[in-house]
Structure 1
């Protein structure tokens, strides 16, 4: 005979229903159904008895008479504490108290009903209150009988309940006062800093004897070195003469000279010659130079001397002395290798980057380091969790600043610098000088000097032969494989693509044709990325397919060809890609495939080619002319061709046909 009294999925509470609550524990549901108010953690609502319903046939919990249910209300976000993983906590509560607990899930609040004897109910209620009590949550008492009725079973008095429901008023923050007293708060933050020494330069007698004309002539002959004082107020400072030899810069530092002689360098690069006297004089510096011109060594050597010359000993600093922020893991690892190559005073360095062993990096920092080379994201993570001390930093380097801004790291850089003492010495390096880099320099450098090699106008290196090929998207892959078949046995090619999936596709196609190839992009595991780079550096593979991840800081001196399978997103990236070859005085070649989708880049590309003395294809000139004409017409008739819906695509195709595509 079917059961009577079933309503919305709940059985009437008779003998059969009561036996359900007496069932062995492994027959109960362990899952938290959640979602709507009609669904409970035990699959059904707490049973309520009507006047015509019989008592349960057995009493599974407690020794005394069972009281009516005590109901309490808990915020939905805290109910997980009561349930536990897989229902483990609620079973523990029932076993410890001798009660039965049921939870009805609501959107904002959950109703917790406790069944059993009075003592069991009270014990369970106290245990639940302890679980969810954190100073912010609120528990409200419901009544008996599944949550209806008064609060006669509550262990709280009515005054306590009322007091608990009154939210304390939050103090208002006076932002105007904070802004007005910003300088005062800044001064309080840094009032206990140890002393700082920044000047370590003694000009060589040979350098001091140089006349102004001799200095100007030398700078002109060495890639047009320009130096400027960016101090905005007061009298301009005298710019130090360049150090034309290593001895002129480091005569007072024999250990530095020993390292240089051991490595076998003959003479400084132009950026090093002019940067070293500026940095050893304690000035902030902006170094603008093309890739592969020795910027890393330009800031590392003065950094070693700076740390060694501080009045506070290494043991008393309580943290690292030098921080180098850099955009990519590969560049960070490369800088760390440079630090290890020019070991000075047993300084320890650590490389901190996302994708690496976080716990291992933290342990290295806690073990004591002098130089931190880091990507902004991972360092900001350690900083926010107070796992690294940045107050001890006195020498800060923002390496490849333009690339860090392109990658969106400015918020992390700002947070990091907030915890570095304001009277530090700061170095910024960049290959370009866009507006974002100028803003960053103005914010975080104090009266810097600028050293730039060549010109502030963007220009690709003139040691690279640049070839532009205009074709369709469908023809690109065939052209690439023709290029690879014509490579000589000693050639080494870096192939740039625009998307990670394209890098995998091309490298797979090459593998199927029996070619030894590696790929490098951000979705690969860090271990695989390091292996790919190592294979390419050591010439186990002579073809590397990469995204723009490899356009900065990839220090492989014997790359003979750069192949731009996809045109880069901006002209700055084109310059950086091309700069991966023709390094350290070698010659190189760059092949760039251009399709009609790249026409807006044509005018800027022509400018780069002309500055580097390269041949400009006629097709590229025509493409640039069509784009300039199109741009002028859009300015004259701004609404023309801007249709919405399905007509937009057709209008664009028609417009492209009009421009001769």
Structure 2
């Protein structure tokens, strides 16, 4: 009897299920073999477990020793308590950094820096640059406490100059200062301030405002940099490195070149920079205290961001091509007077010429000796920022040449002033700002006519406003000279004038010091010319004292005028 279609279908399905059960029973394997088969299938399909990356990952520049086995570095939010562990790591890394730095200074027996340590240092620097946002939370309290002081300090500079950049210092810069302050306090270093008080240093705030303008800086309050001043300079340089690397720029090595006259000074600077080692800033000191071959081998094994050196040893290493300083971006001259007095002027010029481009210069020089002015003028050729918290005349008038001439008559005064003006303009390719200051000099028709006959464009001033004489329609193409009366000197802005001429001497020596300390604030080529006659003998004595205090040359004619019978009676 024939079966129906439903019965045939059921029977066929039953046979299929039976075959499948038999096949499954015959091909059953152990759990270990099944895991191997599954792992193989995942590997072939490109889907692997994290543990399987150990077998197939390769070293990378970020992980050269394959410590993470190909796993990505997950970013975790740090807590505030992490700061203490970072300080512990800083102390440990500081020891290794000191070992490398002292290696080049001749204080330890290490002769070569391990490749592992070099790579780890580069990795730490990259992490510190890319993950600077981790420092935001830790520096918030420091920033809030310091912001009020910074905003007040940014409005006016040390000489009353309005600061154009009102942006506050970065949190990374404050973090560097805090690290240095804590390290100095922990090591009982020689410092007048403690801990976070570096953030409130008045000199540091003024330095940062000058540094943010992009101009060269001349510091005249002292011949040598203090610990606090060194901390602000190296922290600003480290902040610049972090900003540039965050923008993807490749900076040359070294970034900062710090020239010192002695080994003792280099040790002091290295002790300050050692706190920046955990942040990826490596400092090396080279000086005659160690053998030359020893330092050459050490420089081959490291790439320092900061280099502290004496001029003579640096030139030896550069001549042997042991180090390349052509890409230095910041150059600091500490105790420039010591370089000049010890006969290292040619070495200083050679180092400056070896650097390509236009590095940022910071010069520490009190300029109490006239012999150092030409060297400073050679180094600082463009527009500068004067930095000094010392209100003395010597500090404020540094590198301003005070020229004094004794004349027999008023007509000789006029001729001498114009001849001196012609000498200042001779050979000059750039524009000079010249100012005449005297009694009723604006209304002096003889002076105006004499200046115009020499091809000068005369500008007449009133208060702080200077405007062109209507007679000179083409004043833009002529050499400009401004005229201003003495009664307006207290309100006039004379900071921009490079050359100031006093055709008739001021009625008091206080007016003279006011002009001397306010002129040429953005130039290194300031000249103050004073013309005296026998009627000005009462000012000769105080004027000679000012010239001697500032290290200026006192003319014999001025000393003779001081020794006249009239002065002897007084």
TM-score > 0.5, shorter chain as reference: no
TM-score by length of 2: 0.38
Identify which of structures 1 and 2 has the higher relative contact order when contacts are C-alpha pairs closer than 8 Å and 6+ apart: 2
TM-score by length of 1: 0.33
